Structure 1
Amino acid sequence: MKLLAEMFTIAPGNKDHQVAIRCAVGVFVPLIIVVLIGRSDLAIFASFGAFTGIYGRGELHRKRLFIQMRAGSLMLLVILMATLSARAGQALGLSDAASTWTQVAATTVVAGACSLVIALWRHRPAGSLFHIFAFAAIASIPNQPPLWQCMLVAILTTVFCLLIGISSRLVRSRRTPWAMPAPARLTQEEKRAAWLEAMGYVVAAGLAGTLATIVGQWLGFGHNYWAMVAAVVPLVGRTTRHRVARGIQRIIGTVLGLIVLAGVLLLNPAPWQMVLMIAACQFGAEMFIARQYVLAQIFVTPLALTATLLAAPTAPEVLLRDRIVETVIGAAVGIAVVGAPAVWRRMWAGDKARRIAAL
């Protein structure tokens, strides 16, 4: 009952609306521009470039700019590698099955590497969830736009988000000192924890991607990377109980979010209306992501699927089906990965106690 209560408790706000407005504007302006010029195929590159604004939530302006520059550069690198990976697969003439397994392997590497970098940088949000999503989603696009156009949109969006991040310095009452304290050196224990966390991301993402691909090929499901994204969600948390709760919250929030999205799609929205919905969902997600994960997922789910529909139109019912199946697979794998060490410790402690009693 205590775990259930914690899962549906809303933490107090901490100027979340300021971050939410920045992130909503950061994704809305680039997306509405590419839609209005008739280049919805570039929307996915703008969407992931806008993730730059998620970092450095409550920092001073200079430190926020520094954090977002590093986070944005890493995301641009991931975007570049993803689109090059897709082009390499096409150039080599890989079959659909071979291409899928190659993407799972490459995304698993990205999961571990980006998790390690983010941990060593002490960035928040922690982990490589956004990088997994960006790499796999872009790498899975069959018909890639010209490379220079992809990267130009991503870079311009990143720069725009950087400007939004420091724009409040124009307001005297919101201006913070242009100073940044020297970063504290990582201890050996923190470095060890970063490497262990990266290994956890590799295991969770790899297992989820493998299982989702096998099940998908057997039952005809797609979007296996959604399982990889869901699998790493439980890895972020203070305790095993909190991590397990995040995995369950991911499933509950996804189901509720899909119900909302299904209702919206019945209205058959135009592309510009979809952009408005993405911006609104981005605002809602940032308002609650640090306070109530289930509620945040009600916004995140329509946000992710609407962006997917905008960039690569697909039958909505297929997306809705794939989303829930892949989320359940991934969340189950993530819960198993975070729960296994605790189970092992209890078994080892029990076995040790029995040996001592036998003596």
Structure 2
Amino acid sequence: MKAVTEMFTMGPGNKDHHPALRCAVGVFVPLITLTLMGRLDLAVFASFGAFTGIYGRNEPHSVRFRSQLRAGGLMLLVILLATVTARVAGALGIDGMAYSWLLTAATTLVAGLCSVVVAAWRLRPGGSLFHIFAFAAIASIPSQPSLWEAMLVSVLTTGFCLLVGMSSRVVKSHRTPWKRPPPIRHTAPERRAMWLEGGGYLVAAGLAGTIATLVGERLGFGHTYWAMVAAVVPLVGHSTRHRVSRGIQRIAGTVVGLVLLAGILWLNPAPWAMVLVIAVCQFGAEMFIARQYMVAQIFVTPLALVATLLAAPVDPGLLLRDRIVETVIGASVGVAVVVAPAVWRRVRGSSA
């Protein structure tokens, strides 16, 4: 009952509207600019560059700047590797299922390595969920824009988000002292925990990606990387019960979010209206992500799928189907990875 209650409990607020507004502005301005320029083929690069603003939400300005600069730099590297991977695979003639397996393997490595880097830099939010999403989504784009345009949009969006992150310094009452952030040092147990966490991300993402690819090959589902994203969600949490709860909340929030998205798509919004939807959903997601994960997912689901539709229009019905199937696969794998160590200890204890 305690686990069920936790799923419907709203945590206390902590001036969440401040980072939520920064994130919404950080994604809206680049996307509406691309819309007015008629370059929505570059929208996905702006969307992932805008993830820079998600980090350092309640930190002092100097620490936030360091966090966002590092997070933005890491995301730019992931974006570059993703688009280069797609180009190299195309040049070598790797496509179809061969490319699906290559993408799963490469995304799995990104999941593990980025998790370690994020933990080493003590970035918040932790984990490599955003990097998995960015790498796989960009590497999955069939028609890549020119490399210099893609990276220019990504860099400019990252820089804009850094400016937005520092914007509250113009208001004296919101300004924090500018002090050089203390260096980050790790104890031996912390370093061991970082690598163990990276291993967990590697296993969860790899297993989910493998299952999703096999199921997709047999039943015709796509977007297998959504399973990999959902699989790492339960890995964040302070207890096994809390982690399992996050996995269940991911599925429940996705279902409700898909209903909301279906209503939005039924209205057949213009591109500028879809950009507005993205900004509103980004605001809603950041308002609740630290307080109630299931509610946050109601906003995250249309946010992710509308951004996908902007980048590469596809059949909305197939998109909704793929989202729920891949989310169930991924979240189930993530919960299994979280529960497995506790089950193993219990089995060993009973046999001792």
- 8 Å CA contact 2:62–2:181 kept in 1: the answer is no
Q: Deviations over 1:56-90 (max 9, x none)?
A: 01111111111100000000000000000000110
Look up the SS of the partner of 2:222 in the other structure: coil
The corresponding residue for 1:217 is 217
- Cα distance between partner residues in 2 of 1:110 and 1:95: 20
TM-score (norm 1): 0.97
Name structure 2 gaps, 5 residues minimum: none
The corresponding residue for 2:324 is 324
Q: Deviations over 1:95-148 (max 9, x none)?
A: 311111000000000000000000111111000000000000000001000000
- Cα distance between partner residues in 2 of 1:136 and 1:117: 18
| Structure 1 outlier segments of 4+, above 4 Å | none
Assess, with a 3 A threshold, how the Cα gap between structure 1 residues 113 and 184 changes in structure 2: closer, same or farther.
closer
Note the C-alpha offset of 1:181: 4.1
Correspondences of 1:169-184 after superposition (within 5 Å): 169-184=169-184
Correspondences of 1:1-359 after superposition (within 5 Å): 1-352=1-352
- Cα distance between partner residues in 1 of 2:270 and 2:181: 47
Residue identity in the other structure for 2:226: W
Assess, with a 3 A threshold, how the Cα gap between structure 1 residues 181 and 147 changes in structure 2: closer, same or farther.
closer
The corresponding residue for 1:355 is none
Residue identity in the other structure for 1:93: G
- Cα distance between partner residues in 2 of 1:166 and 1:95: 43
Look up the SS of the partner of 2:274 in the other structure: helix
Name structure 1 gaps, 5 residues minimum: 353-359
Residue identity in the other structure for 2:35: V
Note the C-alpha offset of 1:185: 1.6
- Cα distance between partner residues in 1 of 2:310 and 2:142: 15
Note the C-alpha offset of 1:183: 3.2
Assess, with a 3 A threshold, how the Cα gap between structure 1 residues 184 and 140 changes in structure 2: closer, same or farther.
closer
Q: Deviations over 1:185-205 (max 9, x none)?
A: 211001000000000000000
- Cα distance between partner residues in 1 of 2:84 and 2:146: 11
Look up the SS of the partner of 1:193 in the other structure: helix
Alignment: residue pair count = 352
TM-score (norm 2): 0.99
Q: Deviations over 1:211-267 (max 9, x none)?
A: 000000100000000000000000001111111110000000000000000011000
Note the C-alpha offset of 1:173: 1.1
Look up the SS of the partner of 1:124 in the other structure: coil
Kindly name which structure, 1 or 2, has the bigger radius of gyration based on alpha carbons.
1
- Cα distance between partner residues in 2 of 1:338 and 1:202: 13
